Amino acid sequence: MYKKIIVFSSLIFMLFITGCISKVKIPVGVKPTKDFTVHSYINDDGIYQASSELILSGLSEEGVVIVCSLYDKKGNLINESYCTTSADGVWTLTLDTPSSGLDNYTLKIKDSNNIYHQTFNDIKFGEVWLYIGDELKNLNYEKKENLKVEENYFDYNLMFFKDNEWIPANEEISEFNYSLANKIYENNKSWNKHPVGVVFATSEADPIYKWLSHTAISSRKLIMEYLEKENLVYDEDNSLHNMYLNLYKNMSYSNVVLNQGIADLKLFENSNYDENYFRNIYSLQLYTFIGELIHEFNIADNIFILQDSINYNQNIGLLRTIQSDITNYYNVTSIVPTYDLNVFYDIENDLITSDLNEIEGEFTVVGYDYDKLAERINKFNVNNYSATKLDHIVQEYDENKNMITVKLIFEKKLDYSEDQIINGLKFVDSNNEYVELLYSIKDNELIVDLIISEKNEEEIKVVDLKYIYYAQDIEIYDNNLFSSNIPVVPFEIKLK
């Protein structure tokens, strides 16, 4: 009896370590007369989120049973699932994905009558990121005509899904996302090395309403009225939501990077609306869009919002403020400041550099240091860290009810050296004029003194302060308010 128990336990252990599972009992279903289809994100060399869910779907004939089977590199069956095609010809099923690693898997899909088959080879399970919005232009990659690259040049552990196909990640497609994929992959511990995929949902520069589903738009009266008034109502089939997101939500993701908003500023510039209306309408659209991402997508960790540091739209500060405000509503969202990551073109010496101190003459800002930007996002994700934001303010008054001090309280301790001048910190009085005020920093507090001496130094004056701004200019590249060596998120305060 003792020997039998040992043998039985050993068999269970062997089944466990090999990953084998018992086959699911599959119904026969209707015999198909034509081959089924599979949506394009399922393909050879694809990378999918590990330890999660993967929704597979396509078209077939009503009543046809579709079977999906996942095999490891040894040919062991890891998981199997089936579904029956609906009356509208759509089949959809869900597979639980294995843990992360560099092993290749094979996915076999067939109808239950074994008439039609499709096999997808060398798929992997690791970490998948979704990049949404405006494309970041390449800065350094020079495309060479007729350049032939050997097949083994590419690392198939780093893949992009763009234009409905999985392709090896490379700088020609996107310098930023190539850097991001590499930083994530390099950061993997030796015991947890896994592949990285980046899925592109990108456009040149489109306003946010095109990313919203028509269901979301119709549920928001203010958004619908705005689109109708501006003659922006469009066919749902041509929406970016339908083109990308409606399909991509079938995959699971580790994180999302969102880069969007400039096109909305351009719409605002060409309209007759005031600043408050734009603030309300764009805030509502951004709030709705992120809500859709959270509720419709399986996102494990974060939505990172890139904050533009160089843009010649006069309302760029307003966009930064709205983006920062939205993170107060969704705790999975995080602002990624970029104003310390700019790349400059030295006009006199005809060179590109990220060190402003190297430039003595005229220069222009040409973009970001993508390696540093990718490193920042990866650190935010791995260390569960975020850029420090202004948390709240405290106003102090004298016996005459004059506000004499404003304390800006930040989420974390600020980096500060004695007598440091904070570039980009501006004060505006009730006459809408800039004023110079003394300030100091202690731990996580920035303390602004509203009492100033007049020229004769015998009389004092209490400034009637209306606004405090930080890093809200069209160009922000030398701003220096940091916390733990990470730039503080730009802010705007309107005082009562």
For 139-189, the pLDDT digits (tens) are 764 433 333 444 445 789 999 999 999 999 998 899 999 999 999 998 887
434-435 and 90-96 strand pairing:
unpaired
Other Cβ atoms within 10 Å of 368 Cβ, number: 24
Whole-number Å distance between alpha carbons of 409 and 445? 5
Closest CA to 322 of 281, 279, 293, 262: 279
Residue 310 β-bridge partners: 475
Whole-number Å distance between alpha carbons of 335 and 491? 12
Residues of the chain with pLDDT > 70, as a percent, come to 91
Whole-number Å distance between alpha carbons of 449 and 427? 11
pLDDT value, residue 315: 81
Closest CA to 413 of 385, 438, 388: 388
Other Cβ atoms within 10 Å of 399 Cβ, number: 5
pLDDT band at 457, cuts 50/70/90?
low
pLDDT value, residue 131: 97
pLDDT band at 412, cuts 50/70/90?
very high
pLDDT tens, residue by residue, 48-74: 999 999 999 999 999 999 999 999 999
Average pLDDT over residues 282-302: 94
> Using the 8-state DSSP alphabet, how is residue 385 labeled?
-
Closest CA to 181 of 169, 163, 166: 169
Question: The dihedral of CA 192, 161, 297, 252: what is its sign?
Answer: negative
Number of H-type helices and E-type strands within the chain: 10, 30
Other Cβ atoms within 10 Å of 192 Cβ, number: 11
90-96 and 425-429 strand pairing:
unpaired
Check whether 16 has a pLDDT greater than 60: no
Check whether 217 has a pLDDT greater than 60: yes
Whole-number Å distance between alpha carbons of 68 and 29? 15
For 324, residues 6+ apart whose C-beta sits below 8 A from its C-beta are: 307, 335, 389, 489, 490, 491
CA 456 from centre of chain: 54
pLDDT tens, residue by residue, 98-123: 999 999 999 999 999 999 999 999 99
Average pLDDT over residues 290-313: 88
Tell me how many degrees the CA angle 99-100-106 measures, rounded to the nearest 5.
85
Other Cβ atoms within 10 Å of 478 Cβ, number: 12
Poorest-pLDDT segment among 37-41, 137-141, 214-218, 490-494? 137-141
Poorest-pLDDT segment among 177-181, 360-364, 398-402? 360-364
